[in-house]
Every structure is written in structure tokens, then in C-alpha cells.
Chain A
Amino acid sequence: MGKEQIRAIIVDDEEKARNMLQMLLDEHCPDVNVVTHCKNVPEAVTAINAHQPDIVFLDVDMPGYSGFQLLDFFPEVNFDIVFTTAFSEYALNAFRVSALDFLLKPIDIDELIQAVAKSKQKKSPEIYNRQLHLIRESQQKKAPETIAVYTIEAVEFIRTEEIVLLEADRAYTKIMLLSGNIILVSKNIKDFEETLSSHPHFFRSHRSYIINLKHVLRYSKADGGAIEMKLQKEVPISKDAKSIFISKMESI
């Protein structure tokens, strides 16, 4: 008693998965009170309206309606969603673009405890809903128009067309914007290459750089080749990237 109970709903099409998660929660997250299980999105919509939960553990890969489609029923989400997924590239991409956390199945106990702890922290509903909106968008559009990234201070939303280039800095990446601002993000360049892989304007010109082809000023062949970007930034181009770069520039 005294401790605030967290009301949770588990949504998963597989009964074993629902029971497993319930067991893990009962044993390792005693302050979570699972109020009901749902096996699909329609059930979940009704249950959420009826129970007004604090957390919804939501499987992404379900037959019929995917977990992401639950979002269509709640223009404003006022509960926390902990997404779970086994292995689906399209879901992972949605999480990359929106910078939202998720649990991989089979579920790691430490990650589960962390996810519950994280959802207890106060967060801005506006920012959270914007991130969820990016998930919705990533399901509809091929190329992300906006991506969310974690900086040291906060979640930032960046319009992809404002990005001039991304530069690797070990496990970090520096994002240079048209405004001249530079944002340091604790995600490595490979992660960004994947996040932006569906975007026709972004191109890994060199192992340390991803550039926005829309902001290329000129290309000089001297000294093994270099690309001059807006903001007077010059980036190298790798040997193998040259022919791809030229054909991409022609096609946009």
C-alpha cells in the first residue's frame, strides 16, 4: 500500500506471449497492475476506453490490424505505449524515425524494468504525441519528412530537408542544419544511414558523411574528389561512391 499502482493493458495476438509478459511483470515490476489482456486492436480500443490505463504493452506485429493502427483510434494519446516486436524491419524503422523505445521479444527483464521506470517519469504529452505521429507518418510515407532525435537536453524534431549533412563522430553523429546549427546526437552514423535509407535525397558519400543531395553546390574532381555543400562545408567522397553519387544527382 501507499505505492502508486500502475494500471496496464497487454495487447498481443499470442496467448503465450501475453501470459509470459504478465508473469515477467508480476515478478519484476510489482507496482504494475495488469487490468486486462487483449488479443487484437479492436479489443484494445474498447479496453483502453473502459479502463483508462497508464501503460499499454502493444505488440506491433499482429494479424488484421498492426499495433501501429491502434494510434488511428486515439488522436491524442494520454497513456504510455510500450511497443513490443519480434523481428520486423518496418517496425524498427518507425522506431528509428520517431526515436521511441521498444521491447524486443523475447523480452529482456532488465529492459522491461527500464521501460516501466521510464514510463513513470513525467514527460511532455505534446512531444510524446508528436513522436507517435511520426510513427503514423512512417507507415504512410516512404521518405521521412521529420525525424526525432535525442540530444543531451531534449527530444528534437528535425525536418529532413533542413539537414545539410551528417558527420560521424565515433558513436555520435553531428547533424548540420541549413540554419547553421549543429546538433549532436548519441546515435552512430550507421543508424542514421538506416533511418534515412528510404529517403531519396540522402546519400552516404563517405564513411564519415551522409549528405543531403538537395544541398550540394558543386562537385570537384580534383584531389580524389570533393563535394561542396551549402554553408561552405566541403566533404570528401569515397572512390566507390562516385559513380552512384553522379547518377543520383542526375535523377533528382
Chain B
Amino acid sequence: MVMPNHLSLAKGPETLSELDTPLKQGDYVHALKLLTKLSHQHIGLLQGAIQKIVADESMVDNTFKLRVLLFQSEQKLNEQLIDEAASIIESVIAQSEYVPEKTVLVLALLQKAVLNLYRNNANESIQLFHACEQMLESINDVEVEIQIAIYGYHFFSESDSHKAAEYVYRALDLAKQHQLVYWEAYSLLHLGTLNTLLNNNAVALDYYAESFALLSQLQLNIPMADNLMCQFNIYTRMQDYDTAITSLEQAIQLGQHCGWDHKIAICYGNISTLYLRQSNFEAAKIVAEKDIALSRQLNNAYNIGVAMFRLGRIEAGLGNIAKAIELINESISIRKNIISNTQLSHVYQILFPLYAQVGDFKSAFETQSNFMKLKFEIVDAEKTKESEALRAKYEAEKREAELKEARLQHTESELKALKAQMNPHFIFNALNSIQEIFFLGDKRLANKHLSRFSQLMRSILKSSGKKTISLQEELTMLEEYLSLEALRFGDTFSYSITMDDNVDPYTLDVPPMIIQPFVENAVKHGLLHKEGEQCIQLHVKFNESRNIIEVALFDNGVGRKASAEINKHRQSHESFSTSATQKRFEILNQSTVELFSFDYEDMEDENGLSLGTRVHIVLPIEN
């Protein structure tokens, strides 16, 4: 089927006749150039030319024929006819084994890589890509190198914009160096799409304009039309709907009568959607009908379905609910088996309120249940995908962890075990204190302390796997702990936590629960048996020249001597938290320059009576 050429820009027919001479003379390099140009100007004619060449049995150069087939598969990819493209690509790969020149194989593998991206096989895709990169050295072809770089952009565009940008810039540099204007325009276009992804609207538009100018110099109407479709996206995002529509109308004009019709249908669809979005239903309807007519002509069931769904929404907007329901149902049946669950759920979501509007509550209910059912399937599928990703991440992290030094691992697990030993002490002491409030019957107060207690538990759980936490977190834990103890002791108990001005608790890190055992000891052994006022004072200093935190903890309790006397009948009671702490300090000291240390100071008056206990704790910090 040969189409008439109305647009002065489309130079297709002349190029086609130009093709005869090089073909006859066997100048295939030139012929390929002309075919490339044709693919940018008139796809209909290109397809005619491809068929003629493939069918011509007098042509003996197999390499050239394979290259020509790749034009065909590329077109199929552009039209999203993935399976058809796949079978052509596979046959080219199979045949290219017998061809000594490797360019055709690389290009075929690269197309296969792109195809795998469409099919979401990222792993296989990237492997093919690396294979292409390796083979590149042996063929030394700049245009292939540029195409590989552009693929790299596609692969990374959504996951790693910096890497994607590196690839586009490589393509752009190569194109400029070798004065390949088309590829320069193509690279600029992708800088535009990259910036679109990054939400840099103005920058993207600049790149598109630069690319467009080069393309119009070359008079390549099809890439120009593609370029305008990219611009439409930006204008839509900027909510400049008028310019968005104008871009699409220009694209349609450039792409008319040259085999670009499947994209024209998409343009109509988008224009219609833009009108719909502005509630301009009359205008939307005219364009939507054009879309349907063209999609019917192209016999593209999927597009017909999408267009009908859109028309249904437009009719609903015009108040023709019955008509809308009819169209939307038809849009489902026409896309049977090819509509994705996500799209179908969207259709149902629009459909069920329409049924309700016309009073057909039975259908409304059914449609809504269908919508819900689908939605759950979708969410389930996503969840499976997520959990797979999580598992992969978990395994990767596990492997990483295994690579860590054995000694360090040993030390840390030992530390963890010690902390786990300390926590139950802490937990049950706090629980003890809180139990009493339940019996006071003050619900509000009970709630307050329960919240405090759960907050404390959360902090402990959170910190237990960590090497360090901020001093702020440690002090908050102590504050929570002490506030619960204050409850137990009643009005005679007071505590204070203070620090010097140069201590920034948010940036200084300490091992978790490093001060807590000392506070716990002070309460248990110092204050528990003390008559009268009980007080705890904790003061933090930061010695910047030595890079150490100095904690001074004072309690006015009975003193260590008296406490030992009181506890002497209880076997090995006191030893627990002190020995655990001692052990922990020793382990910590294996990995620092300054030493973790603590020493007790028993304070007595001249008569040898206890005034309390002071403990000095030194905590080195990481720089």
C-alpha cells in the first residue's frame, strides 16, 4: 500500500527512487543510509522497500538483508508489537552466526535487550547489554556505539539518573565528534526525557527545542513528530493545556500520510483526554470519534477499547449516562484478554457510580465488587513483588555481613548478648514501679506512665541492635527510666540531668545503655534503703581536646559499704550488673584509642558516715 504524500516536508518518494541505483550497484552502505532516512520520513514506504529487498532472490549479500530485517523489527518495537519483533530478532540472531561481520549481531542483540526491557526482564536485558559492550571493540562503529549508550540511558533512566545522564552525554559527545547530526538530535531528545523524569520542566523543553531545530534542518518529519509528543507531556504537566494540544496537532500534521498512523491515533486520544480534563466535552467527543475511526482502520483492538472507554467518560460528562455505560462495557469486551487488571479496575471504578446514577443498583454493586476483587489481586501481586525484593535485599545484606571480619563479629555478638542480659533487669524494675499506679485508680495517670513505659521499651528495643546511639537518646532513656522510678519512690525522690554548654547531645554518639546500669545501681543500692530525701544528679561534660564524654553520677544514698552489708546474705546479688558492665567496658576497649572507664568515689563526712556515692564514667567518642 503506497500512500500519497501531501506534506512538503516528507521527502519519502524521492528517497525511494534514489534507492534503486545503490541497490543495483551493490552499494549497500549507501542503501542503508537511505533506508535509515526513509525510516525517519515515511514508514509506509520503508515497509514497501523492506519487503521488496527481502523478496529479491537475486540479492546475494546476506548481511545487508539481515540489516534490513532489523529495520522491520525496530518498527514493530516502535508499534509495541513485541512478539512479532521478537520472532524477527531471533531469526536475525540465528542467521548472523554465519556472517563474519559482527555489526548486525550486535544490533540484533541490542534490540533484544530493548525488547527484554519492555518485557520487564531487566536481568537478561542488562546481560545482553554487557555482551554488546564487549563486542563493540571488535566492530568499531560509532553509530552502534551511540545506540549502545542510548540503551544504557534507557536502562538506568528510572533507577539511577546520574548513570543515565552519563550515558546520554557519551552518546551526545560521540555524535558531535563525528558530526552525526541525527544522533546529536536523538541524544538531545533523551536529555529532554531525562529532565522530564527529574521534573526539570524548563530544562527539558530547552533540550526538546534544540533537538527539534536539528531535526527540522534534516527535514526528518517522523522524529520531529515524536519530539512534539514529548513536549506535549511537559506542557500537560505544567497544565498549559492549550500549548499541549497545539503540540499534538502539529505532530499529527507532520506524521500524516507516512505510516505513522498508530501514533496519530494516540495523539487524538491524548487531545481528547486534555479536553475531557478541562470538561470541554463537545470538543473531546469530536476528537475521540476520530481516534476510534482511525484505530478501527488500523484494526488495533486495544486502542479501540481505550478510545471507547474515553468516549464513554465523555458521554457521561455530557449527561448521556446510558450511552456511557454501553460504550464502557463495549470497551471491556473489545479488549477481552488484552486488558490489564490495573486498567480494568480503573474502568470498573468509573463504571459503578454510573450504574448507581441510573438506578441500576444491582449492576452497580456487582461492578463495585468486581472492582474490589481486582484491586485486591493487584495489591496482592504488588505485595509478592515487594516481598521478593525484600528477600533479595535481605540475602544481599546477609552476604555482605558474612564478609565482615570474624573478630569484629565475635566482639559485637558478645556485646549484644551482654546487653540482652541487662535489659530484663531494667524492664522488670520499671514494670515494678508502674504496677502501683494501676491500683491508684487514676486512669489518666496510669495511661501517662504506661505510655512512658512503652516509649522506654521501644527505645531499648530500637537501640539493642546498634553499636551507638546519640547521647540525646541515651539521656532520654534515662529520663524515662528515672521518671518511672520517681513514681515508685514518691515525693522524697528527685533527680536532675544536666550538661555543660559545649555538649551537643544530638551529635555525640555513645554505645547504647552505657550509663543506665550505673543509674540503676545508684537507685538499687544507694537510694532504696535511704531514709528521707533521695536524690540523683547526673552531669555530662565534653572534653574536646581528649574527645571524651565525662559523666558524673551522684546519689546521696547509703553508700556501697552499707549496701554490701545489707545485701550480704543474698548470694552474688550485687555482682551481676557491675560485672556485666565491667566486661562490656573491656570489650569496648579493644577497639578504641582512649579508654572507656569508670571509677567510684565513696563520699563520707569526718565521722565516716556516708554522704553518698559518686561515679565518674569516661566515654570516648568517635572523633
Which A residues are closer than 8 A to B by beta carbons?
42, 45-46, 49, 65, 69, 72-73, 87, 89, 104-111, 139-140, 142, 159, 161, 168, 170-171, 188-190, 206-208, 214, 238-241
Contact = CB atoms under 8 A, between A and B. Distances in A.
Of B379, B447, B451, B623, most buried by chain A (CB within 10 Å of CB) is B623
A106 B451 contact: yes
Interface residues of B, number: 37
Nearest to B369: A46
Nearest to A27: B443
Contacts of B368: 49
Interface stretch (B75-83, B408-416, B504-512): B504-512
A189 B507 contact: yes
Contacts of A170: 504, 506
B199 to A, nearest CB: 8
B393 A142 contact: yes
B472 A188 contact: yes
Contacts of A72: 375, 378-379, 382
Interface in B372-395: 372, 375-376, 378-379, 382-383, 386, 389, 393
A206 B199 CA distance: 32
Contact of A65 (B379, B450, B454, B506): B379
Contacts of B379: 65, 69, 72
Interface in B193-241: 198-199
Question: Main SS of the interface on chain B?
Answer: helix
A140 B372 contact: no
A215 to B, nearest CB: 10
A190 B454 contact: no
A195 B157 CA distance: 24
Contact of B375 (A73, A110, A139): A73
19 contacts: A69-B379, A72-B375, A73-B375, A87-B458, A104-B458, A105-B454, A106-B447, A106-B451, A106-B454, A108-B447, A111-B451, A140-B382, A140-B386, A168-B506, A189-B506, A190-B472, A207-B623, A214-B162, A239-B623
A45 B372 contact: yes
Of A46, A106, A111, most buried by chain B (CB within 10 Å of CB) is A106
B622 A208 contact: no
Contacts of A73: 372, 375
Contacts of B462: 89
Contact of B470 (A89, A140, A190, A241): A190
A161 B461 CA distance: 32
Interface in B344-385: 368, 372, 375-376, 378-379, 382-383
Nearest to B504: A170
A36 to B, nearest CB: 17
A205 to B, nearest CB: 10
B570 interface: no
A139 B376 CA distance: 16
B219 to A, nearest CB: 38
A190 B451 contact: no
Contacts of A106: 447, 450-451, 454
Interface string B444-486: 1001101100110010011000000110110000000000000
Contacts of B386: 139-140
B372 A42 contact: yes
A230 to B, nearest CB: 13
Given A207-B623, A241-B622, 10 more contacts: A46-B372, A65-B376, A69-B383, A106-B450, A111-B451, A168-B504, A188-B470, A207-B508, A207-B509, A241-B623
A161 B393 CA distance: 22
Contacts, number: 80
Interface in B500-553: 504, 506-509
Contacts of B383: 69
B161 interface: yes
B622 A188 contact: no
B507 A208 contact: yes
Given A109-B447, A190-B470, A190-B473, A207 B372 contact: no
Contacts of A206: 623
B161 A239 contact: no
Contacts of B375: 45, 72-73
Question: What 8 pairs across the A-B complex have the smallest Cβ distances?
Answer: A238-B623, A108-B451, A207-B507, A188-B506, A190-B470, A240-B622, A168-B507, A239-B623
Nearest to B375: A73
A245 to B, nearest CB: 12
Contacts of A241: 622-623
Contacts of B378: 72
A240 B623 contact: yes
Given A69-B379, A188-B470, A207-B623, A171 B506 contact: yes
Interface in B14-51: none
B198 to A, nearest CB: 8
Of A110, A189, A190, most buried by chain B (CB within 10 Å of CB) is A190
Contacts of A87: 458, 461
B455 A104 contact: yes
Interface in B570-623: 621-623
Nearest to A66: B383
Nearest to B378: A72
A240 B408 CA distance: 14
Contacts of A168: 504, 506-507
A46 B458 CA distance: 34
A239 B126 CA distance: 38
Nearest to B591: A240
A16 B198 CA distance: 46
Contacts of A42: 372, 376
Contacts of B382: 72, 140
Contacts of B372: 42, 45-46, 73
Contacts of B473: 190
Contacts of A109: 444, 447-448
B449 to A, nearest CB: 10
Contacts of A189: 506-507
A132 to B, nearest CB: 16
A111 B375 CA distance: 34
Given A87-B458, A87-B461, A109-B444, A190 B623 contact: no
Contacts of B470: 188, 190
Contacts of B393: 142
Contacts of B461: 87
A104 to B, nearest CB: 7
A3 to B, nearest CB: 23
Nearest to B368: A49
A11 to B, nearest CB: 16
Nearest to A45: B372
Nearest to A214: B162
A69 B508 CA distance: 38
Contacts of B509: 207
Nearest to A161: B161
A89 B458 CA distance: 10
B345 to A, nearest CB: 10
Contacts of A139: 386
